[in-house]
Structure formats: C-alpha cells, structure tokens
Amino acid sequence: MSDRTTSGRGRLYESIVDTIGDTPTIRINRIAPEGVTVYVKFEAFNPAASVKDRLAISIIEEAEKSGALKPSQTVVEATSGNTGIGLAMVCAAKGYPLVITMADSFSIERRRLMRFLGAKVVLTPRAEKGFGMYQKAKELAEANGWFFAGQFETPANAKIHQNTTAREIIGDFEGERLDYVVTGYGTGGTVSGLGRVLKSERPETKIILTEPANAQLVGSGYVNTRNEAHQPTESHPNFEPHPIQGWTPDFIPWVLQEALDKGYYDQLLPVPGPEGIAWSRRLAAEEGIFTGISGGSTFAVSMKIAKEAEPGSVILCMLPDTGERYLSTPLFEGIGEDMSEEELALSKSTPGYQL
C-alpha cells in the first residue's frame, strides 16, 4: 500500500482562472546524461494545459484594467491553437465572446477544443501562413469593433512571464545551481519575460533560445517590417512550414524583439522537427512526461546542452504544453488504434481470449 498522502492546496478557488501558474519543476531521472541534472518546467499543469494560459489571463485582465476591453465585448485573436484555447477558457470564465482566426494547417483537435470552450474559429488558407490569419483577425476587429488581443505585440505578454514564470523559477531554484534555461519561441513572451528577471537576479544562468532548423528567422539576421503599432507588415522570407506547432510564425513578433535587442539569450540553437518528435516520444515512454512537439524540440536542445555541459551542470527545459494537442499530427504517426501483432499475441496467450 502506498504511503503517499495529500492535504489539499490550503485554499478555495473563486474561478478556474485563479489556478493558472505555479506549474511544477520536475527532474528527469532516466534519460538525462550522467553527471548533469535536467529539470523540466511542465506548463501542461495549467488549467487549459499550456503556457499560453498565462498570456490569455494577462491579455484579458490588463485590457479590463485599462478599459480597452468593455463588458461583453467580443475578443478576436490569431493563433496556432494554444493561445486560442487559453483565451477560450478565460473568456468562458469571464463572459466574453471569442472569435479565433487560425490557418487550416494546424491540428484539428485544437480548433475542436476552442469550439468546445465556446469560441468561434475562422479558418484561413494555409498558403497565407501565420501572416494571413493575423491579417484576418485585424480585419474582423476593425470591421466589427471587437477587441483585438494582439498577443504578438501586447506588453501584457512578457509582463506575465516576468511576474509569474520567472518568479516561479527564481523561487524553485533558490539556493540551488541553475546553469541553463532552454526555451523556444512563438510570440517571444517567455524568453523576454525570463530575460528581464534572470539576467539581473541570476546572471550566471545562460538562456538558450531555439527555433526550427528549416525556419530560422532569428538566425537569419533579417527582421521583418512592422507598422507604427509594431504589427508585422510582411511574411518573413526565411520562413518555411515546419512541424513544431506553436513555434516561429512567419514573422518576428515585437514581443520577441525585446529579447533580441537586449541580448536576453546567450545562444541560439536550431532544432529539426523530427528530433523534437523523437524526444517527445522518449519523454512519454521513458519518463511518463506527455508533452507535444514543441516540448520535445526544446528538450532535444536541452539534451545537446547536457551532453556538452561540464559535470554538475543543472539545466531547466521549458515544456509548453501537453501531447494531446498533437493527436492528428506526425507526433502520433505509427501509434495504432488496433492491437499490434505483439499485443494480439498477448491477448491470445491466456484462455480468456476472444476475437
């Protein structure tokens, strides 16, 4: 009989949105190289199962505070999925209608989850990429007088990571060694928010940024044009479609630009999508940690760092979401619905077998 016990969280919650944040930092025990310690900060523990829940609550509450968002006003946003799911959860809890624009190339389960949470999802052609869905959201906001969430530009983005994600890392590693933090980027809010805090309070900690190997926007050195509102006005010429959903839209967001301009990251390491898929599968099968392609890709880079780091090094890897967001993607290719030959043989190995 297990000796594990629980005693509750010591508080009662007024709303689902009050459970956002304070996600756990978990040690990797079986697949990390010898001589180094690897942790993951597992953002799937947020109520809508991704790091974007933090962004969603920050956008809405900052807009409520400023008066930019009026009671019962419709919210509109362009998203590859996780921000939309987070916004759908927050808007449902607070009573705001939500319209999402999303390229039709992103996983079907994401659009179904948003609709399940009460949002409307307007699909845009995949050929128009992220810039196309962004333009559609802007058009809808202007035509209807809706509140445009603007995750790629809003100061609410990096602010929430500065005030929550970074503070949690500082607290979890108080008095402990922390040599590297590894993160990818979508909007850039995580790296910019972490950079603001870690560069001043934990300057010995190196921040490693990663992006898809076949869509190296930061690595190209070219920054796409933006208008006076810091919104992109073109698709980045170095963008190519990649399997790491949630990472690297086809433009460099204004939120990310802060990290680039202020040197918040110490090294940029691109990663091929297939490596991310392979490491996501290993995390699930060998550590019981069920994350998506973006998490697997961040972990792939963390493993590269771990193999080259000096003995005793401590690495923290950001895992943005759950693997359940990727059931219809290449992450689950080869994972069958019916019994394999080995499973069928196990079934037949006892007298109770029935076809």
Give strand pairing partners of 212: 271
Model confidence band, residue 130 (pLDDT cutoffs 50, 70, 90): confident
**Position 274, amino acid:** P
* Residues 251 and 224 sit within 8 Å (Cβ to Cβ): yes
Catalytic member of 58, 80, 107, 294: 294
Q: Give the whole-angstrom CA distance, residue 219 versus residue 241.
A: 16
Model confidence band, residue 188 (pLDDT cutoffs 50, 70, 90): very high
Q: Is residue 41 annotated as a catalytic residue, yes or no?
A: no
Q: Is residue 80 annotated as a catalytic residue, yes or no?
A: no
Q: Where do the domains of the chain lie, and which CATH numbers do they carry?
A: 16-50+164-332 (3.40.50.1100), 52-148 (3.40.50.1100)
pLDDT of amino acid 355: 61
Predicted TM-score of the model (pTM): 0.94
pLDDT of amino acid 81: 87
* Residues 238 and 220 sit within 8 Å (Cβ to Cβ): yes
Place of tokens 């970074």: 166
Q: What is the mean pLDDT of residues 178-203?
A: 98
pLDDT tens track for 296-326? 999 999 999 999 999 999 999 999 999 999 9
pLDDT tens track for 260-295? 999 999 999 999 999 999 999 999 999 999 999 999
Catalytic member of 41, 52, 129, 206: 52
pLDDT of amino acid 353: 66
